[in-house]
Amino acid sequence: MFANLERLAQFMDEQGLDGLVATTIENVYYLTGVAAVGLEIFPHTGQAYAVVTRDALDRPHFVASRCDIDQALDASVEIAGAVGFGVFYRELPDGVELTDREKKLVATSVDAPVVPTPMDALVETLRRAGLAEARIGLDEDGVAHGYVDALRQKLPRLDVRMASNSLRWARKVKTEREVRSVTAAAHVAEIGIQAVGALAAPGVTERELVREFERAVAGAGGRAKFSHIKIGRAGVWGQTRPSDVALNRGDAIWFDVGCVVDGYWADIARVINLGEPPEKLVRYYAAMKAGCDRAFEEAKPGMTGGELFRLVVDAVHEAGVPHYRRNHVGHGIGVELYDRVNITPDNEDTLEEGSSSTSRRPTTSSASGPSRSRTRS
């Protein structure tokens, strides 16, 4: 299981919660291991939920459209129940003996009574879980304005508290399985970067470099989510779409790339130079790396994001780039690209044992191009 059950139990006990409803693609995955397709392809209107009770955090209920309810079979934990909403047809040919897996699907998507709406399906699930008159935490980030009021009208004795921030707090400390997943994602991103390095030669374009990165990531089992790869001075507009600008000997290749492997993110920056790099790039890169090294050496539990930010920026200044400035120098990472703790100037959130972060030190200049160093800790 991905979820940190001890952290979930802790905040639920502190807030007196009997149950928890996850609504975002990240939190549904966190509790179930199901990558809810409806939340991905309909990011603004799609609905899918994971519901857990305090006394059975490791046995979630899953709610999705009747079409997508087959994803309950993907769960990484034992599902306590599944409810599908809406209309969808799966035909059963006569005389076929069903497997156990097929029987489970038939029970939830063929034989089960039709439940018209996502709200109706959630209400039915809360009733089945014994939570219809309980106090629950709702992941409010994944529902529309007015949803909570409508839910309270359906279940007048239900006590609903907002829980999105509490879920982020729970996710801040990673389980061993999550650490393995984040590590695997970082490894796949590195495979993509190495593939680009192998392709790099005079005449190769940004568009071809991006295509090679995404091909290599897919081949290694990941999904590229952003592939910002720019040549030379173009790194100053690094978030723009890839162009037909071609590499020349001496050019730097700037990377800010991210991918997902089994639901967990990587976010990595690198610089590769085609040929001997100029002295300024070498000097700036060394300063950025000094900041990364300081982060690895001195980050510790109890340190705030702001304290780590100042420590890292000071290291870059001391290493020879006194004018260096940044809005942030890293962020937490996990099932969501930006998990806690963000490494920003004024962030009072604290690192804990088991936190996972990217640490980055980019600097960008339209005259000389970008230099950056970023990795995961």
pLDDT digits (tens, 9 = 90+) for 22-46: 999 999 999 999 999 999 999 999 9
- pLDDT greater at residue 61 or residue 93: 61
Mean pLDDT of 193-215: 98
Is residue 8 pLDDT above 60, yes or no?
A: yes
| pLDDT of res. 93 | 87
Is residue 334 pLDDT above 50, yes or no?
A: yes
Is residue 366 pLDDT above 70, yes or no?
A: no
3 state SS for the chain: CCCCHHHHHHHHHHHCCCEEEECCHHHHHHHHCCCCHHHHHCCCCCCCEEEEECCEEEEEEEEEECCHHHHHHHCCCCCCEEEEECCCCCCCCCCCCCCHHHHHHHHHHCCCCCECCHHHHHHHHHHHCCCCCCEEEECHHHCCCCHHHHHHHHCCCCEEEECHHHHHHHHCCCCHHHHHHHHHHHHHHHHHHHHHHHHCCCCCEHHHHHHHHHHHHHHCCCEEEEEEEEEHHHHHHCCCCCCCCECCCCCEEEEEEEEEECCEEEEEEEEEECCCCCHHHHHHHHHHHHHHHHHHHHCCCCCEHHHHHHHHHHHHHHCCCCCCCCCCCEEECCCCCCECCCCCCCCCCECCCCCCEEEECCECCCCCCCECCEEEC
| pLDDT of res. 375 | 47
Give the whole-number percent of the chain exceeding pLDDT 70.
Answer: 95
**pLDDT tens string 68-102:** 999 999 999 999 999 999 999 999 888 899 999 99
Is residue 363 pLDDT above 80, yes or no?
A: no
| pLDDT of res. 208 | 99
| pLDDT of res. 91 | 92
* Domains of the chain, start order: 5-171 (3.40.350.10), 176-376 (3.90.230.10)
Mean pLDDT of 211-239: 97
Mean pLDDT of 215-233: 98
Give the whole-number percent of the chain exceeding pLDDT 90.
Answer: 92
| pLDDT of res. 368 | 42
**pLDDT tens string 278-314:** 999 999 999 999 999 999 999 999 999 999 999 999 9
Mean pLDDT of 206-234: 98
Mean pLDDT of 232-249: 94
| pLDDT of res. 357 | 78
pLDDT band at 358 (very low <50, low <70, confident <90, very high): confident
Mean pLDDT of 179-192: 98
Average of per-residue pLDDT values in the chain:
94
Is residue 374 pLDDT above 90, yes or no?
A: no
Is residue 367 pLDDT above 90, yes or no?
A: no
**pLDDT tens string 114-123:** 999 999 999 9
| pLDDT of res. 75 | 98
Is residue 124 pLDDT above 70, yes or no?
A: yes
Mean pLDDT of 172-188: 97
Mean pLDDT of 138-153: 97
Tell me the whole-structure pTM to 2 decimals: 0.92
